[in-house]
Chains A and B, each alone.
Chain A
């Protein structure tokens, strides 16, 4: 092993053989500017073509390449090896998800949860589709932070509540619900709050806060969930005490 080599310990799992996931070590050349994804691609291209992992844009916007690097949920395209190189770089699939193969996890459940919060503009009546909807900069600013979510699921990997209660709607889906609730063009806030005001909604959250720590886009889903708890409570009380009042 040359002085400019680095060891990658990668979790492998073959669905055909079942059993338990095991580590496999690869020694690859080190460059000071390489990211973890570069290492994985080197392994696949030159050493072991069976290594399976997701990636796409290489620049932190598609959300495909999430993995546990040295125990922390990271985007492999955005993690420099020089920052995590402690003897060896350990790469495992994202925590809290079932493993399909090697570093590829099953996120059907996340997609279902995302769909359940209607992450798009909902309106009763669209009227003339050629009409412009005016939004001022402050209107956009109200939902801009939550709109940055790239659905990379690092927050779900970081959340210990999701780890033990898989029905929890989770940080990203909640943040995106808030993004649309705060959009002045949207009329679906009440339905989203109704969906989140459930046992499998925001109430599972105990504000550990790790989701916001690992988010590569600073969406701050933890703060979004606490805001949603407050909004859901207000709606709950309104419906309880004033059953006749209109929604929203």
Chain B
């Protein structure tokens, strides 16, 4: 064969090409946001240990408008991350409990119900109920 091959390079904006790629990037961003929130929670516990005034300063920071808006955006990413996680379990089912894989929406529904149950348990066991 004469001549040269044309080498292919992935374009930087590849994830803008279609909606599914964009949802994937948001999902991955949600994962990083989870780690960030992990650090914030860690900081919250550190402030708790430091004393009432340090802890109060932390809570007051949470109440300021810029932090609140940031939290709303980041929280949305965390929720999207959780929802896509439940969808992915349905789409992959790497551990098979049934002979044939179940429809992914059924697995998604089961996970959402489990999530409701676990959330309720967390509210009552960790945060003192309603």
Q: Do chains A and B touch in the complex (CB under 8 A)?
A: yes
Chain A contacts to B: CB under 8 angstroms:
13-18, 20-21, 71-72, 95-101, 106, 138, 141, 160, 163-164, 206-210, 212-213, 222-223, 226-227, 229-230
- Select from chain A the residue with minimum beta-carbon distance to B5: A98
How many chain B residues touch A (CB < 8 A): the figure is 26
- Is A98 a contact of B92 with CB atoms below 8 Å? no
Q: How far is the CB of B114 from chain A (nearest CB, A)?
A: 19
B127 CB–A CB distance under 8 Å:
no
Assess the A14–B3 pair: CB atoms within 8 A. yes
Q: How far is the CA of A15 from the CA of B21 in the complex (A)?
A: 32
Main secondary structure of the interface of B (DSSP, over half): loop
Closest Cβ neighbor of A208 among chain B residues: B24
Which residues on the A side are within 8 Å of B5 (C-beta)? 15, 98-100, 106
Complex: chain B residue closest to A163, CB-CB: B10
Interface 9-mer from B64-72, B94-102, B115-123: B94-102
User: Which residue of A has the minimal Cβ distance to B14?
Assistant: A160
* Pair A18/B3 contact, Cβ less than 8 Å: yes
Chain B residues packing against A (C-beta within 8 Å): 1-8, 10, 14-15, 17-18, 20-21, 24, 28, 88, 91-95, 99-101
- Cross-chain pair count, CB within 8 angstroms: 75
Which of A13, A206, A226 contacts B28 (CB under 8 A)?
Answer: A206
A96: contacting residue among B10, B18, B92, CB under 8 A:
B10
CB of A95 within 8 A of CB of B3, answer no
A15 to B7, CA, bound (A): 11
Residues of A within 8 A of B3 (CB): 14-18, 101
Q: Which residues of A contact B93 (CB under 8 A)?
A: 223, 226-227
Minimal beta-carbon separation of B72 from chain A (angstroms): 27
- List 18 other contacts, CB 8 Å, given A100-B1, A212-B91: A16-B2, A16-B3, A18-B6, A20-B6, A95-B8, A98-B7, A99-B5, A101-B3, A138-B99, A160-B10, A164-B10, A209-B91, A210-B21, A222-B91, A223-B94, A226-B92, A226-B94, A230-B94
